[in-house]
Structure 1
Amino acid sequence: MPPMISTHISCLVLSSVLLLANAFTQHFSTGINFPSQPHKAATTARYSTITYQDATKNDLQISPSENKPGLGKVAIIAGATGYIGRAVVRECVARGYHTVSLVRNVTYALTDDALSGSSLVMCDVGNEDELNTIVQDIAGGKHLLESSIVTKPPPIDLMVSCLASASGIESEVYAIDYAATLSFLNAGRANQARHFVLLSAFCCRNPLLKLQQAKLKFEAKLAEQQDMTYSIVRPTAFFKSVSGQFESILKGNSYVLFGDGTVTHCNPICERDLATYMCDSALESFEKERWGKVLNIGGPDEPLSNRKLAEMMFESIGKKPKFVYVPTEIFDVSIGMIEWIAKNFPSEKWEDVLETAKIGKYYAVEDMLTTKEVEKFGERKMMDHFEQIAKDGQDPFTPVRATAIISQTLEALPVLSVSLPIGLGLASKPDLVQNVVASSPLANVPLLVANLMDGSLWLN
């Protein structure tokens, strides 16, 4: 077993990265942003408002083919600009659907070629009335591409929810993963939509976190309604979620492993394969296997430990692996400290920080793995992905971890030994800690404890 970092170093990582957040403000502001790879600009307009004519004359009869099961039908995707949402849009367009992408910002969405071929409709999914009106308009034939004009409004065949909160804090998950998703479902029910596909999460099988509880609450609502058939898809992990340290090791930093690097295992699924699986789930040919069911799904890889993933990543860039190790107990230390602060200095902000710390621990110790052959799908493997990003660059949706800071800090032991008393001193004075955090530009957002570990964002 490789050497473990001692407990006092763990405390230092905690105090230096979590509590002394303002000391690392510059690193955080530049270290965990998404890569700035621009989308290609759109070359043709993809949004229009069309009202269909009366269907009593010259109806256009379209016979869906085996390769184009969506011809003559509408698919609506909520969360269309997200990592999986974009892949679902591409898949629906390829299947011949009149595809409608619900987006927050049409101007931004127009720059994303992944949404080409779909109608872009600006929609605040948190506004129930607005969402209902838009879905009703779509059912009446509005918001479809000019090239899609026929004389009869096509039916809404498929609604796909890829909605998910970004942070995992309680207020967001119940607003997005539950309430907004429920409004989307109800709008479909009110307008005779046929099938609803929910992008859920594999981790809901062990719901210790608010985000999982919110998803399960919606899943229960989906299962109890009888107006639409449905499929609940729970992917294990995404390729982007296990690629977050790529930029760091490319710059020569060590890969940060929690525990001995074999605490957790996963078999992530490619976003394109997942989109295919989700859209297939709406087909009548999959009625017995996938309708009205919770579907756990992972990629074709055998169980991959965090260390194995790291070794594959180093191999893809032709570098010798090097690691630093952090014990998973660091999360117990941080959670205990934050719980004490939250209890003695009650505030929603500290509750959010606490929940984020729990998210970090959860994904550091829980497998995101399915080994049943029936629950493995697709052909693209993790090594294919690593080789591609080594050649073409990182996916712009990949969250860049703050692990470069940890790697550099843990290798600077003399500096650590000097700063340790400062960190522990702050830990014993929560009022001072609160002032330190409040003085940071990060004070208005939860401290992203989850960003301290490589698997923290295996969320959907």
Structure 2
Amino acid sequence: MTKQSEKDIAVKTVCIAGATGYLGRHLVREYLDRGWQVRALVRDRVKAAKSGLGGTLVEVQPTRAETLGVMAGADLVVSALGITRQRDGLSYRDVDYQANANLLDAACASGVGRFAYVHVLNAQTMRGVSLVEAKQAFVERLRQTDIAATVICPSGFFSDMEDFLNMARGGRVWIFGDGQRRLNPIHGADLASAAADAIEAGRVELPVGGPDVFTHEELARLAFDTLERPMRLTRLPDGLRRAVLAILPYVTPAHVSGPARFFLSAMGADMVGERHGKRHLADHFRQMVNGD
């Protein structure tokens, strides 16, 4: 066997940051299924092991750059690292920007060939939203390096849509404006597969969603239909959404206003990415209702 053929069949190694999160777990499973060596970067190895996370568990603290010397020999780093609710005294800037910057610096220093990052779709429409601005600042830093990069921009997860189901369980769904804004949420497993395909293809960016596109009104109807209840829908003026966006930072703490402003901003825009995957939100809602 020649050296070239040995190289061609060599198993590749990926480091996955944010591996214990919803998407991170799917990424670990996807790369293991593809035959990669997976280093799952976790904050607490014992806790991650008890949860059944696969791959080789490597304990790091991404906010502390000195703990990240674990990427030697890796071919790829995929980061799904971020916070949706501020905790442990850390801000979005601390995690969504700086911790990812630490990962990027460590990857570059170790000679990793590609860095992939999970961003959000339509970040440009969400100016002033701290969570998104921290992520966008990191993407801009990533683009300034020489490392090959893929930025994954999902439209939203199935789990996010459970808010519609929960409102329907309460008897009424509230939406803003005429309810005709569109989105195509995606299951975490489908997103992991689409992301891995895009990374392998060397894509610079992947705006990605699931196979089915809904308006907000259609999401409300789906929730009520799943529960087999008549639809009760209240439309709020979109001006109210914009007003709440403006005052939230002044009347609520950061751990409340941060995720709320992201949600309200996303509700005011179409969030439709390339259609990928085979899992359908209707099936997810039925599983939630039936406890499957």
Q: Same fold (TM over 0.5)?
A: yes
1:361 paired to 2:264: yes
C-alpha contact 2:43 2:59 (8 A) present in aligned 1: yes
Match of 1:31 in 2: none
Residues 309 and 353 of structure 1, relative CA distance in 2, 3 Å threshold: closer
For 2:210, what is the secondary structure of its paired residue?
coil
C-alpha deviations, 1:365-405, integer Å up to 9, x for none? 222123xxxx2222222223223333335xxxxxxxxxxxx
Count of equivalent residues? 286
> What letter is aligned with 1:300?
P
Q: Give the aligned residue type for 2:75.
A: D
CA drift of 1:177 comes to 1.1
Match 2:81 to one of 157, 160, 163 = 163
Query: Aligned runs of 1:396-407 on 2, under 5 Å?
Result: none
> Contact conserved, 2:131 with 2:262, CA < 8 A, in 1?
no
Query: Who is 2:62 aligned against?
Result: 125
For residues 380 and 357 of structure 1, the distance between their equivalents in structure 2, rounded to whole angstroms, comes to: 27
Alpha-carbon separation, structure 2, partners of 1:256 and 1:389: 17
Q: 1:174, CA displacement in angstroms?
A: 1.1
Percent same amino acid among aligned pairs? 26
- Closer/same/farther in 2, CA of residues 337 and 74 from structure 1, 3 Å limit: closer
**Structure 1 pair 300–80 and aligned structure 2 pair: CA distance change class (3 A):** same
5 Å-filtered alignment, 1:279-294, equals 279-283=196-200, 286-287=201-202, 290=203, 293-294=204-205
Partner SS, residue 312 of structure 1: helix
Query: Where do 1:342-353 residues align within 5 Å?
Result: 350=253
For residues 260 and 23 of structure 2, the distance between their equivalents in structure 1, rounded to whole angstroms, comes to: 25
Q: Does the 8 A contact of 2:84 with 2:131 survive in 1?
A: no
Offset at residue 216 of structure 1 (A): 1.7
1:80 aligns with 2:80: no
- Distance (Å, rounded) in 2 between the aligned partners of 1:392 and 1:188: 41
Q: CA deviation at 1:332?
A: 4.5
Structure 2: distance between partners of 1:176 and 1:102:
14
C-alpha contact 2:85 2:255 (8 A) present in aligned 1: no
Structure possessing the higher radius of gyration over alpha carbons: 1
Any conservation in 2 of the 1:298–1:376 contact (CA below 8 Å)? Answer: yes
TM-score (norm 1): 0.57
Amino acid at match of 1:236: S
Question: Is 1:259 aligned to residue 259 of structure 2?
Answer: no
Aligned to 1:298: 209
Q: Whose strand fraction is larger, Structure 1's or Structure 2's?
A: 2
Q: Gapped runs of 5+ residues in structure 1?
A: 1-60, 65-70, 140-154, 343-348, 394-460
Compute the RMSD of aligned alpha carbons. 2.8
- What SS is found at the alignment partner of 1:244? helix
CA contact (8 A) 1:245 1:255 kept: no
1:376 equivalent to 2:287? Answer no
CA deviations over 1:113-144 (Å, ceiling 9, x no partner) = 3x23x01122111111112x233xxx2xxxxx
If asked which structure has higher relative contact order (CA below 8 Å, sep 6+), I would say: 1
The alignment status of 1:269 with 2:186, answered yes or no, reads yes
Residue 111 of structure 1 pairs with residue 50 of structure 2: yes
